[in-house]
């Protein structure tokens, strides 16, 4: 056994004592390693599981819904009428503020200010000016609006100035105040001081201050638009730098030898102006766009929410129109007559439609929607306020207006009074295209709210634009292949007010009609116009009980007078007219629609009396024709008295229809006269002509006929023919109707009128 020294012995004793602890430490280390490895494997497996779950498409109605694009960008199109007036400035700020109030607050809405000219502006008609926009706008007004746009309110939205035409004058300052400027590439911008004989420093400082806030236009470029002596140059400097400087600032750069090349951009002695294409290349403006559709794609706006506004500076003249109840032919005629009178007679330029209707007739709603869409926005503006509901086809009337405001909790579209099938929608596809263009809406919005049975989906193109529509109708688009079908929309119950605003189908939600009027700067709400002044006058007559009593009394008096005189004359016709009007007032509610029916039916009855009972063409024929013509004209047009070329043309068409109908009636009666004579009723009323050899009224002195006995040869009702002696005479029955072959006695001769009566005790001989 080897002998160990003391050091080795000590180390062995230490190891023996330490070995249990070493084993325990190594055990813990191994456990930690295994735990970390297990945790790593669990995380790796969990990541794969979560990744696989994320890649699994969401199944909805057994169809994988594609990943949705981000929320739609709110795009609002406001018109800036030039030259800008105080009322335009106030309305523009009000619209801007209204858009900010209804935005969700999560993103800045895009508000495009499109500069347009007023048709009645003097600048547009002056050949020396060339029709350029902007001239005539005051600097102070432009500066005030520009400061508002760059202030705390204006910066809450992304303001974009869109110049589709050349612009000059102080309206350019409003464009400079916008965050972005988009122009037609060939349009000019500049000559801001064209209306000023001399430009003081206050004007220049105002322009430079606004341009500095936006930081897009170089100061010397702005100065060149205001000062004819400030010629602008584009300078390429050493170090590949580009600067835009005036002639004064260019000289030091030349002396320092920093100028590589220079280009003169403005003409000495003239105000500077520049094209959209040039300014885009110089990065003064952000976009060039030839039309609104191209601008829409550039800005990434899914759809414009356009507010077509008045482009004249005349004071607002509002008119409130009640659109209530079921939509029908008569109700639409009444509403159109009311609007025509408001515009033509009262010269209203703002129509506020108070709508609460379940619909009722698709064709009539389309007719009224086209009427509203055809208003010239430069003269008349329309606003719809839906109070509770505009169901079914009534939604078309609301959406055809320039602005649509809904009461909280209201419903737009969905099932209504009329049943609208998908076939009805598809058959009128061409009409939807025209109506959508005129109302500045998509086709899907219109027919999606009308027919709950249509399969409405969202469609998205590669540029992110979203539209809705029926798949079958969407396939008829030329660019159908560029659109991808997306989420299905549930419009069976229409759309709520809040959802309509979120989708930009409506402008805003307003609790009362007065609030809507206040948004347009109207402090006092006008009285509602339910009918025209003529209709109100007719209705007021129908409500007069004493007038109904007078009509009934006149009818009885005139009828009694008619019974005491031979034949039917003026008294008989007036009695017939009075009793008809009494019946209309007391039993037909005294409405204009029933008056039209009474006139038409009464006219036909009077003409029938004249044709089949009375000889010749007297008061019943003339009066009946006038009644029939009046009824047809009132029923076929929406105005009472024509006041423009269109209405005169419509009146001519109505009269032509009456003339054609009369000619057709007379021609038919003439061609079928032989068949008509054989009808029992006509044969009984028809007067038989006397024999050819008869010598009627052969003597001038007829007094000798008194007391003679004769016999009727035709029916006397009361006029007829009779044979007295050996001659035939025209006679009149004195008391009752006489049938043919009745013995008569001449009782009186008055001038050439021979009055007869039945011989007492004798009966008619069959």
**String of b and e for 367-380 (b: at least 16 CB within 10 Å)?**
bbbbbbbebebbeb
Q: Is the pLDDT of residue 764 over 80?
A: no
The angle, 0 to 180 degrees and rounded to 10, between the axes of the packed helices 545-563 and 570-587 is 150
Q: Is the pLDDT of residue 201 over 60?
A: yes
Length of the chain as a residue count = 766
Q: What is the pLDDT of residue 28?
A: 43
What tokens appear for 119 in the block?
A: 């048709």
Q: Is the pLDDT of residue 669 over 50?
A: yes
Distance separating alpha carbons of residues 744 and 723, to the nearest angstrom = 9
Q: Is the pLDDT of residue 208 over 90?
A: yes
Mean pLDDT, range 177-200, rounded to an integer: 91
What tokens appear for 633 in the block?
A: 């004209």
Under 8 Å between Cβ of 180 and 161:
yes
List helix spans (H) across 528-679: 533-542, 545-563, 570-587, 592-612, 619-636, 645-671, 673-677
pLDDT, tens digit, 9 for 90 and up, residues 488-519: 887 778 888 888 887 778 878 888 888 888 87
pLDDT band at 61, cuts 50/70/90? very low
Q: How distant, in Å, are the alpha carbons of 126, 136, 163, 217 from that of 172?
A: 20, 12, 10, 12
Under 8 Å between Cβ of 353 and 385:
yes
**Bridge-based pairing state of the strands 110-117 and 75-82:** parallel
693 vs 67, more confident:
693
Under 8 Å between Cβ of 214 and 298:
no
Mean pLDDT, range 296-313, rounded to an integer: 67
381 vs 25, more confident:
381
Distance separating alpha carbons of residues 755 and 334, to the nearest angstrom = 52
557 vs 195, more confident:
195
Rounded to a whole number of angstroms, the distance between the first and last alpha carbons of the chain is 176
pLDDT, tens digit, 9 for 90 and up, residues 96-150: 887 887 676 667 888 999 998 876 544 443 434 444 677 888 999 999 999 999 9
Distance separating alpha carbons of residues 140 and 197, to the nearest angstrom = 16
pLDDT band at 16, cuts 50/70/90? very low
Q: Tokens 């500077």 belong to which residue? A: 272
DSSP strands (E only) in 164-206: 180-183, 188-190
Cα 34 to the chain's mean position, in Å?
76
Distance separating alpha carbons of residues 335 and 532, to the nearest angstrom = 9
Instruction: Please state the pTM of the whole predicted model.
Output: 0.50
Q: What is the pLDDT of residue 204?
A: 92
pLDDT, tens digit, 9 for 90 and up, residues 564-613: 665 566 777 788 788 777 777 766 655 666 677 777 777 777 777 766 66
Q: Is the pLDDT of residue 562 over 60?
A: yes
The angle, 0 to 180 degrees and rounded to 10, between the axes of the packed helices 329-344 and 533-542 is 120
Q: What is the pLDDT of residue 126?
A: 44
Distance separating alpha carbons of residues 508 and 501, to the nearest angstrom = 6
Q: What percent of the chain has pLDDT over 70?
A: 72
Question: 3-state secondary structure string, 666-703?
Answer: HHHHHHCHHHHHCCHHHHHHCCCCCCCCCCCCCCCCCH
Q: What percent of the chain has pLDDT over 90?
A: 16
Q: Tokens 């129509």 belong to which residue? A: 351
Q: How distant, in Å, are the alpha carbons of 119, 694, 697, 705 from that of 729?
A: 76, 9, 6, 10
What tokens appear for 659 in the block?
A: 């003339």
121 φ/ψ angles, rounded to the nearest 5 degrees: -70, 140
In this structure, the dihedral spanned by the alpha carbons of residues 257, 262, 266 and 269, taken in order and rounded to 10 degrees, is: 40
Which of 597, 570, 569 lies closest to 581, judged by CA? 597
Which of 340, 350, 344, 342 lies closest to 315, judged by CA? 350
- The SS3 assignment for 730 reads strand
The set of residues, in sequence order, having a beta carbon less than 8 Å from that of 254 and lying 6+ positions away, is: none
56 vs 460, more confident:
460
Angle at 713 between CA 709 and CA 716, to 5 degrees: 90
Beta-bridge mates of residue 64: 59
**Bridge-based pairing state of the strands 411-412 and 381-390:** parallel
Walk across the sheet containing 110-117 and list its strands. 287-288, 180-183, 158-163, 110-117, 75-82, 304-307
- The SS3 assignment for 106 reads coil
Mean pLDDT, range 310-329, rounded to an integer: 78
Q: Is the pLDDT of residue 22 over 90?
A: no
Q: What is the pLDDT of residue 189?
A: 94
**Bridge-based pairing state of the strands 456-460 and 466-470:** antiparallel
Mean pLDDT, range 275-298, rounded to an integer: 90
Distance separating alpha carbons of residues 701 and 704, to the nearest angstrom = 7
């Amino acid at each position: 056994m080897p002998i160990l020294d003391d050091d080795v012995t000590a180390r062995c004793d230490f190891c023996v004592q330490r070995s249990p602890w070493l084993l325990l430490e190594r055990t813990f280390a191994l456990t930690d390693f295994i735990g970390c490895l297990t945790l790593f494997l669990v995380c790796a497996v969990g990541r794969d599981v979560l990744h696989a779950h994320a890649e699994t498409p969401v199944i909805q109605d057994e169809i994988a819904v594609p990943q949705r694009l981000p929320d739609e960008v709110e795009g609002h199109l406001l018109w800036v009428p030039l030259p800008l007036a105080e009322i335009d400035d106030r309305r523009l700020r009000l619209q801007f503020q209204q858009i900010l109030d209804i935005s969700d607050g999560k993103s800045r809405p895009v508000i495009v200010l499109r500069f347009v000219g007023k048709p009645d502006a003097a600048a547009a008609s002056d050949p020396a000016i060339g029709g350029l926009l902007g001239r005539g706008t005051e600097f102070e007004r432009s500066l005030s609006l520009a400061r508002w746009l760059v202030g705390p309110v204006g910066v809450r939205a992304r303001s974009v100035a869109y110049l589709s035409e050349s612009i000059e004058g102080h309206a350019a300052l409003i464009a400079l105040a916008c965050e972005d400027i988009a122009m037609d590439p060939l349009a000019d911008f500049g000559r801001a001081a064209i209306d000023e004989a001399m430009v003081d420093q206050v004007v220049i400082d105002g322009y430079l201050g606004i341009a500095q806030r936006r930081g897009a236009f170089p100061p010397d470029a702005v100065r060149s638009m205001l000062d004819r002596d400030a010629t602008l140059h584009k300078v390429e400097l050493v170090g590949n730098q580009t600067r835009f400087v005036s002639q004064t600032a260019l000289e030091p750069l030349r002396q320092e030898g920093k100028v590589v090349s220079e280009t003169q951009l403005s003409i000495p002695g003239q105000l500077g102006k520049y094209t959209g294409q040039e300014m885009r290349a110089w990065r003064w403006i952000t976009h060039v766009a030839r039309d609104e559709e191209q601008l829409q794609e550039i800005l990434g706006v899914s759809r414009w929410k356009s507010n077509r506004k008045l482009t004249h500076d005349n004071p607002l003249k509002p008119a409130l129109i009640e659109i209530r109840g079921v939509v029908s032919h008569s109700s639409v005629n009444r509403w159109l007559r009311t609007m025509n009178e408001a515009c033509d007679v009262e010269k209203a330029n703002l129509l506020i439609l108070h709508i609460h209707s379940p619909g009722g007739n698709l064709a009539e709603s389309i007719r009224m929607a086209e009427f509203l869409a055809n208003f010239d926005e430069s003269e008349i503006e329309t606003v719809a306020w839906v109070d509770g509901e505009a169901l079914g086809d009534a939604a078309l009337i609301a959406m055809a207006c320039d602005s649509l405001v809904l009461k909280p909790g209201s419903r737009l579209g969905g099932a209504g009074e009329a049943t609208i099938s998908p076939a009805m929608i598809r058959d009128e596809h061409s009409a939807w295209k025209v109506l959508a263009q005129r109302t500045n809406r998509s086709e899907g919005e219109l027919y999606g709210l009308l027919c709950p049975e249509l399969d409405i989906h969202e469609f998205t193109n590669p540029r992110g634009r979203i539209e809705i529509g029926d798949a079958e109708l969407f396939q008829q688009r030329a660019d159908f292949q560029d659109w991808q079908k997306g989420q299905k929309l549930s419009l069976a119950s229409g759309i709520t007010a809040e959802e309509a605003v979120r989708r930009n189908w409506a402008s805003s939600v307003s609790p009362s009609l007065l609030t809507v009027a206040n948004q347009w700067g109207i402090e006092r709400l006008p009285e509602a116009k339910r009918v025209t002044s003529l209709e109100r006058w007719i209705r007021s007559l129908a409500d007069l009980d004493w007038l109904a009593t007078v009509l009934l009394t006149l009818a009885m008096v005139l009828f009694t007078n008619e019974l005491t005189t031979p034949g039917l004359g003026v008294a008989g016709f007036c009695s017939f007219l009075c009793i008809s009007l009494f019946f209309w007032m007391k039993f037909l509610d005294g409405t204009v629609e029933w008056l039209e029916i009474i006139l038409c039916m009464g006219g036909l009855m009077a003409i029938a009396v004249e044709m089949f009972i009375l000889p010749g063409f007297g008061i019943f024929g003339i009066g009946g024709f006038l009644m029939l013509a009046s009824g047809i004209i009132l029923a076929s047009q929406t105005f009472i008295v024509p006041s423009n070329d269109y209405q005169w043309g419509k009146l001519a068409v109505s009269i032509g229809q009456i003339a054609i109908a009369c000619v057709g009636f007379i021609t038919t009666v003439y061609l079928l006269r032989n068949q008509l004579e054989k009808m029992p009723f006509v044969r009984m009323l028809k007067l038989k002509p006397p024999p050819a050899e008869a010598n009627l009224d052969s003597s001038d002195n007829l007094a000798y006929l008194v007391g003679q006995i004769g016999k009727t040869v035709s029916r006397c009702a009361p006029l007829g023919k009779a044979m007295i002696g050996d001659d035939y005479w025209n006679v009149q029955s004195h008391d009752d109707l006489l049938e043919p072959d009745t013995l008569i006695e001449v009782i009186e001769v008055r001038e050439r009128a021979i009055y007869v009566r039945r011989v007492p005790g004798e009966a008619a001989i069959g």
